[in-house]
Amino acid sequence: MEIPKTFVPGEVENKWYSYWLSKNYFHSTPDDREAYTVVIPPPNVTGVLHMGHMLNNTIQDVLVRRARMLGKNACWVPGTDHASIATEAKVVQKLKLEGINKTDLTREEFLRHAFEWKDKHGGIILDQLKKLGASCDWERTHFTMDAEYSKSVIAVFIDLYKKGKIYRGVRMVNWDPEALTAVSDEEVLYKEVNSRLYHVRYKIEGSEDDWLTIATTRPETILGDTAICVHPEDLRYAHAVGKSVIVPISGRIVPVIADEYVDPTFGTGCLKITPAHDINDYELGKKFNLPSIDLFNENGTLNAHGLHYEGVDRFECRKRIASELQEKGYLVKTEDYINKVGFSERTNAVIEPKLSLQWFLSMKELAEPALVHVMNDDIKFFPDKFKNTYRHWMENVKDWCISRQLWWGHQIPAWYFGPGTNDFVVAETAVEAIEILKSKGIEKEVSQLTQDEDVLDTWFSSWLWPISVFNGITQPKNPEISYYYPTNDLVTAPEIMFFWVARMIIAGYEYLGDLPFKNVYYTGIVRDKLGRKMSKSLGNSPDPIDLINQFGADGVRMGILISSPAGNDLPFDTSQCEQGRNFANKIWNAYRLVSGWEVRAFEQPVHSKQAVTWFESKMNESLIAINSHFDKFRISDALMEIYKLIWDDFCSWYLEMIKPGYEQPIDSKTLEQTTQFFEKLMQLLHPFMPFITEELWHALTTRGESDDIIISNWPLIQTPDAHVLSSMSEVFEVISGIRNFRKTQNIAQKVKLSLVVVSDASNALDAVLVKMGNLSELKRQPSKIDGAHCFIVKGIEYYIPFGELIDVEGERNKILEEIKYTKGFLAAVQGKLSNERFVAGAPEQVVAVERQKEADALQKLALLESRLSALK
């Protein structure tokens, strides 16, 4: 049968993926083996695969497949996140296209649309992962709004509320006065705009003519001022601290306070404090216990606190108040100023910081174990530089605002029975709420209760992911959670270290008293050639599925992993996938070569025997390195090691060594040993390139039932023979010397040469040298010869007789060049050795090495000089 010249991935991939599924190899149930568990960072349910997912999930698959081969019970749990904000936005947009406004729908109607959308688009990304070869246990697919999962989210909310960790409080949110909703920080775009800085003076109360001048870009908020603040060490204003000033227009009396927050060099060094309309002012207000005066209506017009400006839009008011200040002599001056202003991503309205009532989780105590167990390496970070960032955040952890003004998500289980802010109880259902109320002596009916309108922050459900995918909250200590938890490795992006990783650690210790995972591997951001983050809006991200179609899943997997060390950004270019495809093709052709040989029973040639002995050691040497790279999560390095082992050592050296002449047969022993090497190489590569390796595993030999590479045993290490390895590397150098000679003298590879070695001792690998150097004879003798090209390897001289060689000049130049290099080298060594303090201060061994280098160089130099004069 004719084997195609290039590897054709498409069919092979589909064939093996369905085969693996049919054999249920991805599915895991608890048993006696050691568990190896990975939970997928759940992508947004409506998302489609992008390059970031590609990187992230390929790494997970590599880890999972290798663990499976190491004999562990590997379990990779897939699933999706409901992603409240992103998904709700998509649904709202889709409805708008159909002419439906969210505000016209009831909550139930909206959710019905949302679930429809989810059912339609929810599976896409998971199907895409299958194309990539992801060996997820699909029977365990979870969604953060599944019934059981939601139950655990609500249970945790109720539990934390009972523990006194959840409270309601006022917080500054980003208010969009056009959409009439709060938006998340991620949805606020900051832009630089040209505005004006107004200098306004406030009279110190009780003084004749003593004023404090502040600078502000928002004079309309003067009506909400509740203090003036200066730096405590600012001598200009020291006399005013503790006194009060009169706010212009409103005439209210407010205190002058001192705090280091104020930058004395900015503006006038006096800062007006409006706690209701600026986040920093709000913090200061809390610190100094200042009142907050909320000036605005939800649509951005002024309310009753705006006095005669009531009902006027905030920007109109800014103009009018500026002129009133000027008329009344409060405006000292105005100047041009560039500042950053937040705009709503969706409506482009200027965001108004606004105080609102939200639910909070108090974090300080909860976060303590999560900090300790990362700092002491119970949970390891790769790379560990992220421990710093983590610590910084955890030591300054703020309370977590867990409520969102949305419908898509887990509705907060708080039931209001009256108009007051505290007229509520927290319970799983309204019926339970009634019971609780009854026990408090309040008689109510279900119809009299209203549930809190808000839903929980998405992360409030995803922080339970490693627990709730095994129902660890709703069914504590069930066999699955006991077996699979703690999970082993988490692969994720550093951007969500706080949103997600830290909180999973917190939840792990709070609810299971144990860490959620042992290692966290942080991937980088996938960037394009210009260094820009790949994103949909920029349109600079290739579609991973297109790439797979173009280069094969194996090729793409290799392309994305070949240069992505943990924690580093990955500048991606499709040429890397090309490299992956080329590699697959190289392997394919190695297989074509091996499979094409005719086998005969005859004695194994000496050079083949030597080749086998060497490659055995070489492979073990690489295996040691590969295992060690894996242990350190150096995935790219492990892949590179295998890449070089296969391409350079196996294909370029080993196969060339054992290759029979054209249409010559191979002996059965060598073929058998070669096939075994090939199998092992495929095993080492399998985690990275699962499809071609499974294909060749089966092509190399006839396999029994379930003899599949995916569940084969990872090769064991046998101690490499260091002597064989160093002898062979010497042979490689000699061969390179011969090739070099051929190159410079323009002698074709097929022309046989003879080689004279000035040495008595024979090398055990001479047969390989003869074959690979294409030598007609190899002579070892004690004396050097004339009229020959000479090169030196490890102090031994090698001569190739010239024959009718013409290019003496070229030969001379080569020698001169080498003399120049050796002299420079010698000078450096001798410089060291002539330094008395080096000889006295350095360890004996180091000095001895230097002396040896000097002796070698001197010998080489003498040799080169004599060669040169012989050429004259």
Partner RNA sequence: GGGCAAUUAGCUCAGUUGGUUUAGAGCACUACCUCGACAAGGUAGGGGUCACUGGUUCGAGCCCAGUAUUGCCCA
- Stretch 652-681 residues interacting with RNA (CB under 7 A): 652, 655-656, 659, 662-663
**In the range 2-21, which residues lie near RNA by CB under 7 A?**
5-7
**In the range 570-599, which residues lie near RNA by CB under 7 A?**
570-571, 575, 579, 581-582, 584-586, 589-590, 592-593, 596
Element spanning 766, H or E: helix 766-773
Residues touching RNA, count (CB under 7 A): 76
Q: What is the nearest approach in angstroms of RNA to the Cβ of residue 729?
A: 11
Instruction: Name which of 845 and 869 has its Cβ closer to RNA.
Output: 845
Q: What is the nearest approach in angstroms of RNA to the Cβ of residue 24?
A: 32
Closest listed residue to residue 587, CA positions, set 708, 715, 688: 688
Instruction: Name which of 8 and 808 has its Cβ closer to RNA.
Output: 8
Residue 828 near RNA by CB under 7 A: yes
Residue 517 near RNA by CB under 7 A: no
C-alpha–C-alpha distance, residues 297 and 352, integer Å: 11
Residue 563 near RNA by CB under 7 A: yes
**In the range 847-866, which residues lie near RNA by CB under 7 A?**
849, 853
Q: What is the nearest approach in angstroms of RNA to the Cβ of residue 575?
A: 6
Instruction: Name which of 446 and 848 has its Cβ closer to RNA.
Output: 848
User: Cβ neighbours of residue 315 under 8 Å, at least 6 residues apart?
Assistant: none
With left for phi above 0 and alpha for psi between -120 and 50, is residue 24 left, alpha or beta?
Answer: left
Answer whether the bond into residue 571 is a cis peptide, omega within 30°.
no
SS3 711: helix
Q: What is the nearest approach in angstroms of RNA to the Cβ of residue 791?
A: 11
Choose which of 838, 851, 861, 870 interacts with RNA (CB under 7 A): 838
Residue 313 main-chain phi, psi, to 5 deg: -65, 150
- Window contacting RNA (CB under 7 A); options: 152-160, 417-425, 737-745, 799-807: 737-745
Q: What is the nearest approach in angstroms of RNA to the Cβ of residue 231?
A: 13
Residue 374 main-chain phi, psi, to 5 deg: -85, -40
Q: What is the nearest approach in angstroms of RNA to the Cβ of residue 703?
A: 23
Residue 343 near RNA by CB under 7 A: no
Residue 337 near RNA by CB under 7 A: no
DSSP 70-131: TT-EEEEE-EEB--HHHHHHHHHHHHHHTT--GGGS-HHHHHHHHHHHHHHHTTHHHHHHHH
What is the chain's length?
872
Choose which of 19, 138, 343, 393 interacts with RNA (CB under 7 A): 393
Instruction: Name which of 103 and 746 has its Cβ closer to RNA.
Output: 746
**In the range 236-295, which residues lie near RNA by CB under 7 A?**
279-280, 283
Residue 725 near RNA by CB under 7 A: no
Closest listed residue to residue 391, CA positions, set 377, 401, 406: 377
Q: What is the nearest approach in angstroms of RNA to the Cβ of residue 858?
A: 12
- How many beta carbons lie within 10 A of that of residue 252, not counting itself? 16
C-alpha–C-alpha distance, residues 296 and 315, integer Å: 12
Contacts of residues 101-105 at CB distance under 8 Å and 24 or more positions apart, as own/partner, are: none
Residue 400 main-chain phi, psi, to 5 deg: -95, 120
C-alpha–C-alpha distance, residues 546 and 49, integer Å: 11
Residues 23-52: x/- map of binding to RNA (CB under 7 A)? ------------------------------
Find how far residue 229's CA is from the centre of its chain. Answer: 44
C-alpha–C-alpha distance, residues 511 and 475, integer Å: 12
Residue 846 near RNA by CB under 7 A: yes
Choose which of 158, 651, 699, 711 interacts with RNA (CB under 7 A): 651
Amino acid at 75: C
C-alpha–C-alpha distance, residues 870 and 774, integer Å: 27
Which token pair is 598?
A: 């005719």
Choose which of 163, 286, 398, 438 interacts with RNA (CB under 7 A): 398
C-alpha–C-alpha distance, residues 725 and 716, integer Å: 19
* The Cα angle at residue 586 between residues 605 and 26, in degrees rounded to 5: 105
Residue 724 near RNA by CB under 7 A: no
* The Cα angle at residue 522 between residues 71 and 566, in degrees rounded to 5: 85
Question: Which residues are bridge partners to 197 per DSSP?
Answer: 335
* Strand pairing report for 270-273 and 227-230: antiparallel
Instruction: Name which of 446 and 846 has its Cβ closer to RNA.
Output: 846
Choose which of 207, 299, 339, 736 interacts with RNA (CB under 7 A): 736
Choose which of 234, 259, 528, 569 interacts with RNA (CB under 7 A): 569
Choose which of 841, 848, 865, 866 interacts with RNA (CB under 7 A): 841
Residue 779 main-chain phi, psi, to 5 deg: -110, 135
Residue 494 near RNA by CB under 7 A: yes
**In the range 805-824, which residues lie near RNA by CB under 7 A?**
821-824
Q: What is the nearest approach in angstroms of RNA to the Cβ of residue 401?
A: 11
Choose which of 297, 498, 805, 861 interacts with RNA (CB under 7 A): 498
Q: What is the nearest approach in angstroms of RNA to the Cβ of residue 57?
A: 20
Question: Which residues are bridge partners to 790 per DSSP?
Answer: 799
Residue 872 near RNA by CB under 7 A: no
Instruction: Name which of 204 and 534 has its Cβ closer to RNA.
Output: 534
DSSP 481-520: HHHH-SEEEEEE-GGGIIIIIIHHHHHHHHHTSS-SEEEE
Instruction: Name which of 375 and 846 has its Cβ closer to RNA.
Output: 846
**In the range 62-81, which residues lie near RNA by CB under 7 A?**
none
Which token pair is 583?
A: 């590699």
Residue 377 near RNA by CB under 7 A: no
Instruction: Name which of 475 and 652 has its Cβ closer to RNA.
Output: 652
Residue 739 near RNA by CB under 7 A: yes
Residue 189 near RNA by CB under 7 A: no
- Window contacting RNA (CB under 7 A); options: 369-377, 470-478, 515-523, 831-839: 831-839
Residue 761 near RNA by CB under 7 A: no
* The Cα angle at residue 504 between residues 428 and 394, in degrees rounded to 5: 115
Instruction: Name which of 335 and 656 has its Cβ closer to RNA.
Output: 656
Q: What is the nearest approach in angstroms of RNA to the Cβ of residue 536?
A: 17
Which token pair is 571?
A: 């500048």
Residue 640 near RNA by CB under 7 A: yes
